[in-house]
């Protein structure tokens, strides 16, 4: 792989969140988690496939690739108790990272409190052992001000990463949303990570996000600790650049 393709591969959360996913499909996904000396940042699957992914990665790649899963997904419910229980079950199954959906409909209706409660409560469930990524569903928030507010609330209540999208709505990651989110990170907590998810299909797409993040947070930000790409179709294009 060339240098940019290798970076994109290492920053990728290789993802399958299809309603028809089977254990065999998840095992096949996990087999793609390493390419020569490179490995992806994480494998992201539905909670019911966490144990399959953990087992497959241990057998095929090794235990160094984390397994991420989604909770409160994709609707972004206001049911804090349910979101916490889903998170606890996912952690008990072995999930290393939790991607939880912010109650963005509530935020649009002016209810900041439930957003704060849900993120804070899920962060408490994750403790110090699991990484928390908060999906703000930027394409549904409509304005830069709402994207900034969702990012601020998420970071203030414990998000380790803020993530653009579920991939289940018409508008997912955009450079406009990423710019707003990255500026909030720079101001509020430069140690918070950023994840662009949805409609990132080519190396050229990834490079645009790299350039934006570097311009705001510096070259040291471009690593899996801080920067992720939520993608599945991107993998084919990266391998073509090997």
Where do the domains of the chain lie?
3-240
| DSSP reduced 3-state for 213 | helix
Give the mean pLDDT of 62-72: 94
In angstroms, the CA 176 to CA 191 distance is 21
Domain spanning 3-240: CATH superfamily: Aldolase class I (3.20.20.70)
pLDDT tens digits for range 98-134:
999 999 999 999 999 999 999 999 999 999 999 999 9
pLDDT tens digits for range 69-93:
999 999 999 999 999 999 999 999 9
In angstroms, the CA 116 to CA 121 distance is 8
Concatenated DSSP letters of 121-147: HHHHHHTTTSEEEEE--HHHH-SHHHH
Q: Please measure the distance between the N-terminal and C-terminal CA atoms of the chain and give it in whole angstroms.
A: 3
Closest by CA to 218, choosing from 182, 184, 188, is 182
> Which residues are catalytically annotated?
99, 163, 195
Percent of the chain with pLDDT over 90: 93
């Amino acid at each position: 792989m060339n240098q940019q393709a290798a970076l994109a591969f290492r920053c990728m959360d290789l993802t399958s969140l299809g309603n028809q996913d089977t254990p065999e499909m998840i095992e096949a996904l996990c087999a793609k988690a390493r390419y020569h000396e490179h490995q992806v940042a994480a494998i992201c699957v539905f909670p019911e496939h966490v144990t399959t992914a953990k087992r497959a990665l241990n057998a095929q790649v090794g235990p160094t690739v984390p397994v991420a899963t989604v909770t409160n997904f994709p609707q972004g419910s206001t049911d804090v108790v349910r979101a916490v229980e889903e998170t606890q079950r996912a952690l008990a199954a072995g999930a290393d990272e939790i991607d939880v959906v912010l109650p963005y409909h509530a935020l649009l209706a002016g209810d900041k409190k439930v957003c704060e409660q849900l993120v804070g409560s899920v962060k408490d469930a994750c403790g110090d052992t699991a990484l928390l990524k908060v999906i703000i569903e930027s394409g549904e928030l409509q304005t830069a001000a709402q994207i900034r507010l969702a990012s601020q609330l998420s970071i203030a209540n414990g998000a380790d990463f803020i993530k653009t999208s579920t991939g289940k709505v018409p508008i997912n990651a955009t450079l406009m949303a990423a710019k707003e989110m990255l500026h909030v990170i720079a101001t509020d907590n430069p140690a918070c990570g950023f994840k662009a998810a949805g409609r990132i299909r080519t190396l050229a797409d990834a490079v645009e996000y790299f350039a934006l993040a570097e311009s705001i947070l510096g070259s040291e930000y471009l690593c899996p600790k801080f920067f992720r790409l939520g993608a599945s179709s991107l993998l084919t294009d990266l391998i073509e650049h090997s």
